[in-house]
């Protein structure tokens, strides 16, 4: 029975919310209009709301099942921020703000959780406890999850488990990708300044060439994944930027390079950082230059708890149109829900929203990114079913 699948006016509302948010995207910690829309919707349903981390919104729903008031609290989370990308689209709901668009599906996530609030309110007799709704700001690299945790999320909600989803354009609409253990990677950034001594390109012996040293670093970094980490543990070291000099006949004084590293465990994160620093220092010494490394740990690996992934899989048959995707799916992409799942056990899964028939063919962060809106009601139903089932599991 599709008890939580929005239809008619409820479905139209979810789609309208998604399109309104898409037309008016807002960057990290500037989600003022988005937060106001969320609050207006929740207040209209009778919810009380609180602000968290500035532009975040928090609300609660206590069930009316016989043991609900003494039951536990679970957390449902959606992110709200957009990206600094110029949208290329002719759709009526395209962004009205130059240089800013929803290119990762957060508009859909927010609309889905707004829909979940309506559906669970209508079925609160099924809730054997309390649901906390977190509309989180600033997922896109700005530390929003850490900010809500610093602003007392755990104390303010008393949540014992957390759940969330991400619309995923790389999977067909309705395919649920639910994986135990490591699911998304850590994300670290590095920048290296290589300082040598400039000189004439025709007289290299009078210089200390930072370009040659930097080039050797780039190739040596590739041995981190192949020779310094466990081959059964995924690791990525990508140098994405390199710059030095301007003239074609001048050896510059300095060179710069930077990039990102990814892994599925904190231990591998430690190995990657240590080896990258050691290689940079050793290579610099070999070529008689100096290397300064700035290494920033941005996001830890996202790890799903087996209990809560099992609950997520168990509700898939209850949602028309949703099917389980390949077991063990993982991605080296990163997501700051990882910090919430490091503090609370829970699950974060992908729901396919790719469909060539509606132009949902582009990868995330692409200027023509689009989702298949047919995935929106499925997302509402999946999170609603998970919330009910999670409280049932905790009560049993």
Do 272 and 221 meet the contact criterion of CB atoms below 8 Å apart?
Answer: no
Catalytic residue, candidates 87, 139, 140, 273: 139
Specify the DSSP class assigned to residue 247: -
- Examine the residue annotation and report whether 79 is marked as an active-site residue of this protein: no
- Examine the residue annotation and report whether 150 is marked as an active-site residue of this protein: no
Rounded Cα distance, 220 and 260, in Å = 15
List the one residue out of 60, 15, 1, 86 whose CA is nearest residue 376: 15
Contacts of 270-275 spanning 24+ positions with Cβ under 8 A: 271/224, 271/228, 271/229, 271/235, 272/188, 272/224, 272/228, 272/229, 272/235, 272/237, 273/188, 273/297, 275/224, 275/228
Catalytic residue, candidates 81, 107, 370, 372: 81
Angle between helices 375-395 and 106-122 (to 10 degrees): 50
β partners of residue 194: 255, 291
The tokens describing 43, both together, are: 């207040």
Question: What are the residue numbers of the active site?
Answer: 81, 139
């Amino acid at each position: 029975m599709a008890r939580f699948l929005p239809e008619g006016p409820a479905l139209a509302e979810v789609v309208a919310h998604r399109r309104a948010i898409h037309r008016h995207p807002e960057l990290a910690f500037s989600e003022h209009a988005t937060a106001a829309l969320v609050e207006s919707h929740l207040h209209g349903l009778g919810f009380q709301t609180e602000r968290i981390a500035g532009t975040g919104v928090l609300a609660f729903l206590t069930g009316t099942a016989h043991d609900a008031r003494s039951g536990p609290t679970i957390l449902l989370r959606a992110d709200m921020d957009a990206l600094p990308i110029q949208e290329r689209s002719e759709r009526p709901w395209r962004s009205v703000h130059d240089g800013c668009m929803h290119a990762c599906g957060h508009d859909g996530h927010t609309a889905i959780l707004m829909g979940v609030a309506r559906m669970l309110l209508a079925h609160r007799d099924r809730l054997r406890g309390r649901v906390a709704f977190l509309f989180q700001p600033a997922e896109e690299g700005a530390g929003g999850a850490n900010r809500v945790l610093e602003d007392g999320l755990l104390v303010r909600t008393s949540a014992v488990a957390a759940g969330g989803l991400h619309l995923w354009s790389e999977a067909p609409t309705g395919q649920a990708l639910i994986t135990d253990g490591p699911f998304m990677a850590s994300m670290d950034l590095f920048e290296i300044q290589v300082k040598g001594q400039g000189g004439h390109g025709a007289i290299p012996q009078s210089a200390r060439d930072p370009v040659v040293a930097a080039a050797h670093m780039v190739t040596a970094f590739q041995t981190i994944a192949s020779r310094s980490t466990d081959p059964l543990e995924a690791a990525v070291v990508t140098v994405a930027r390199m710059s030095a000099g301007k003239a074609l006949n001048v050896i510059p004084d300095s060179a710069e390079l930077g990039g990102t590293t990814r892994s599925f465990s904190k231990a591998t994160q430690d190995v990657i950082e240590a080896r990258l620093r050691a290689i940079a220092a050793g290579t610099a010494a070999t070529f008689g230059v100096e290397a300064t490394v700035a290494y920033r740990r941005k996001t830890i690996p996202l790890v799903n708890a087996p209990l809560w992934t099992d609950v997520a899989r168990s509700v898939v048959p209850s949602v028309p149109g949703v099917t389980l995707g390949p077991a063990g799916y993982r991605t080296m992409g990163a997501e700051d829900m990882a910090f919430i799942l490091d503090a609370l056990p829970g699950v974060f899964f992908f729901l396919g929203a790719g469909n060539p028939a509606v132009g949902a063919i582009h990868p995330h962060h692409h200027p023509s990114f689009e989702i298949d809106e047919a995935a929106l009601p499925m997302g509402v139903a999946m999170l609603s079913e998970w919330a009910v089932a999670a409280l049932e599991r905790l009560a049993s």
